[in-house]
Amino acid sequence: MKTSAFLYPWDVLGDPDAAARVSGLGVQQVTLASAYHSTRALTPRHPGHRIVTAEHSAVLYPPDAGRWKGQELRPYEQSWVASDDPYAEAAQALTDAGLEVHSWVVLAHNSRQGAEHPGVSVTNAYGDRYPWAPCIAQPAVRAYLVGLAAEAAVRPGAHGTELESCGWYGFAHLHAHDKAGGVGLGEAAQYLMSLCFCATCRAGYGEHGVAAEELAGAVRRALEPAWAGSGSAEAGWSGVEELLGARLAAGSLRWRGHVARTLQESAIGAVRAAARPGFQVLLHADPAPYRSGANVGVDARSILSVADGVVLPCTGGDAAREAVLGPFAGRTGVLAANFSVVTGMGGSPGTLERDAAHAASLGANQLRLYHAGLASGPDLRSVTEALSRLG
């Protein structure tokens, strides 16, 4: 199977051995970040540094001033990599090493934007704003995300793109100094905490047969026992229906599904319009339509008529892989199984050969490895051994 490793430009720039080292893993492709959220990243093999702090969401190339002129929202430029165009420089080094490069674009995840433009953020049923999560129903946000998708995806030398967070983001977030674990919220409760009640979404719920104030009140009532006790463990869509009731649950999902689908169609269409023929567009996704986050919920029956394929989270046991790959059984398109190969971040590079074979038996036809820049030396050696045996 074709295999790609994720990288940041700063993993490559300033390290003359980086491109050859990645090629030596046995991968054919690199998925290289061109637009990314804030992060603190370890660089364990770089000759010039050990930590890179990306202080805010930014593009890793010079944005086109003409594209963004007059726009309320526009991308932020980076200042932590000593290059005018980190993406282009890294992409060229990787291409020179014989690797195919695809761009990696993070869309609806931007804490600085939410801090500077609080009105564009997801607003929960209690009136709290999530600055990291722009509300994708709002026209200004949608215009920004569609423009960013096209610009950040179609970079010089890129053969395709992978769009992450191209849909709803919500409550779950790896926030700095996070103190949100005191009350355990299961998957269903997190859905309730992720529902947006900005003015646009309030009107949207109404258009789909649900009064926004009724829905917000139901969310607060459903979660009251969680705050009074130790949490709420309900899981899956049945858990959402248990908390909200089937009618309100369905109405909320109709609105959110409509918003996400139309955003994905617009963003992918903008990328295709900007790219040459044959440019591949993949979506980081989850086949449970109600889920939000980096791997956005999609309808497995229809998403492959819009995108060329999906990148699916496959780290974990057999049951986890079966849950995400099973709904795509028999469908045509790229089904890329994404595995963490960083032991310190919950990955299992030592079982990659076995796990990849299991994913292939479920229909996966490509592999993604997260993340060649973050992994330790022993982790990378395990990856090299596994890929050599997989052929």
Supply the CATH number for residue 123's domain: 3.20.20.80
Amino acid at 79: S
Confidence of residue 179 (pLDDT cuts 50, 70, 90): low
Q: Which domain holds residue 114?
A: 2-390
Residue 72 has pLDDT above 60, yes or no: yes
- pLDDT of 230 reads 81
**Residue range 39-68: mean pLDDT, rounded:** 97
Is residue 182 scored above 90 in pLDDT?
Answer: no
Length of the chain, in residues: 391
The pLDDT score that the predictor gives to residue 183 is 75
Q: Once rounded to an integer, what is the mean pLDDT over residues 188-217?
A: 97
pLDDT of residue 175: 66
Contact of 95 with 23, CB cutoff 8 Å: no
- Residue 172: pLDDT band (50, 70, 90) is confident
For residue 162, name the pLDDT band (cuts at 50, 70, 90).
very high
Averaged pLDDT score across all residues of the chain: 96
In degrees rounded to 5, what are phi and psi of residue 161? -145, 160
What is the tens place of the pLDDT at every residue in 89-114?
Answer: 999 999 999 999 999 999 999 999 99
Contact (CB, 8 A) for 31 and 3: no
Taking the C-alpha atoms of residue 168 and residue 202, their distance in angstroms, rounded to an integer, is 16
Rounded-to-integer distance, Cα 154 and Cα 292, Å: 25
End-to-end alpha-carbon separation of the chain, Å? 8
d(CA 354, CA 182): 36
Q: How confident is the model at residue 173 (pLDDT cuts 50, 70, 90)?
A: confident
- Percent of the chain beyond pLDDT 70? 98
Q: How many CA atoms lie within 13 A of 189 on its CB side?
A: 17
Greater pLDDT, 13 or 173: 13
What pLDDT does 181 receive?
Answer: 64
Res. 370: pLDDT tops 70: yes
pTM tops 0.95, yes or no: yes
In the predicted structure, residue 289 carries a pLDDT above the cut 70: yes
**Confidence check: pLDDT of 355 > 60:** yes
pLDDT of residue 180: 58
pLDDT mean over 211-217: 98
Mean pLDDT of 311-323: 97
Token pair 């994404």 in the structure block, residue: 338
Domain count, the chain: 1
Spacing of C-alpha 235 from chain mean position: 21
pLDDT at 106: 98
